[in-house]
């Protein structure tokens, strides 16, 4: 797959992986639609793009999934077409199950799963009409195996795999591609922004995230996987091997995660 002359829509584009991805894509002759909640931050990202005239800013909140049909229509109007939707927006969690308010579980599902699904369903008819399109979904290694203190996050990411695997099957006939990107630890603000048991932000960085891949390195690997039209790509350091260990022995990955003392 080529990214040249494509219109690529990125959610969660104001920071972290989404921001690095937007800047890296400035090396390609493509047009971007950048989305997140804060318009002013997206405008700053746009200024870092080599050709800002090829960038549109479309702010919205993933939690407001009932608004997605209107948002999708606005996205198409930006450049007349959308060729690829990169579902990158979302939040994480750091709290024990026994202490976590059910409202926190709901918020993770609303944003990380339902928001992404609603946006996907909203742009899907456009892809079907064009008999072409690509969904890229930034899931997580936690969408393949689980880890302590991330129960709602793991649940939402696991759900994304179920949904998008089904979408890939249903719309193979429409030439619609799906690539699920599963990051391990990436050095972004995901841990600082993670929700705790009462719904407040964690604020502090954790060591595993801090020692993770540089987001600029990560997005180069991500783009390579997209171009190869991979069904799934596992991108990280040592932790990426957990996917293969899980396939071999669920009991072994259980033991290894316990020993890793992930926080």
Q: Which residues contact 71 (CB under 8 A, 6 or more apart)?
A: 35, 58, 60, 119, 122
Distance in angstroms (rounded) separating the CA atoms of residues 161 and 243: 14
DSSP symbols for 205-222: --HHHHTSB-HHHHHHHH
Q: How far is CA 50 from the centre of its chain?
A: 23
State whether residue 184 is helix, strand or coil.
coil
Distance in angstroms (rounded) separating the CA atoms of residues 245 and 198: 33
Radius of gyration of the chain (CA): 18
Do 126 and 76 touch, CB atoms closer than 8 A?
A: yes
**Residue 135 β-bridge partners:** 85, 178
Q: What angle (nearest 5°) sits at the alpha carbon of residue 7, between those of residues 4 and 8?
A: 100
Mark whether 153 is an active-site residue. Answer: yes
**Residue 185 tokens, joined:** 């630890």
Question: Of 28, 49, 65, 153, which is the active-site residue?
Answer: 153
- The 10 Å Cβ neighbour count of residue 155 is 18
DSSP symbols for 52-92: GGGEEE----TT-GGGHHHHHHHHHHHHS---EEEE-----
Active-site residue list: 153
């Amino acid at each position: 797959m080529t990214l040249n002359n494509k219109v690529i829509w990125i959610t969660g584009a104001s920071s972290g992986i989404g921001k690095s991805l937007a800047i890296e894509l400035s090396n390609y002759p493509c047009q971007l639609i950048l989305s997140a909640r804060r318009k002013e931050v997206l405008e700053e990202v746009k200024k870092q793009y080599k050709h800002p005239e090829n960038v549109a800013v479309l702010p919205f909140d993933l939690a407001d999934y009932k608004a997605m049909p209107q948002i999708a229509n606005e996205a198409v109007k930006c450049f007349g077409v959308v060729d690829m939707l990169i579902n990158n927006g979302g939040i994480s969690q750091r709290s024990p199950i026994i202490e976590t308010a059910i409202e926190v579980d709901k918020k993770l599902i609303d944003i990380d799963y339902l928001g992404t699904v609603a946006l996907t369903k909203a742009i899907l008819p456009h892809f079907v009409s064009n008999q072409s399109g690509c969904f890229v979904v930034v899931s997580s290694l936690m969408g393949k195996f689980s880890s302590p203190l991330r129960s709602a996050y793991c649940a939402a990411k696991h759900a994304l795999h179920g949904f998008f695997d089904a979408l890939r099957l249903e719309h193979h006939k429409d030439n619609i591609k799906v690539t699920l990107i599963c990051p391990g630890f990436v050095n972004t603000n995901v841990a600082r922004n993670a929700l705790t048991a009462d719904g407040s932000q964690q604020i502090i960085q954790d060591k595993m995230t801090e020692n993770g891949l540089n987001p600029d390195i990560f997005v180069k690997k991500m783009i390579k996987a997209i171009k190869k039209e991979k069904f799934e790509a596992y991108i990280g350091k040592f932790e990426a091997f957990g996917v293969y260990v899980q396939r071999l022995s669920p009991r072994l990955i259980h033991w290894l995660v316990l020993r890793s003392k992930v926080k």
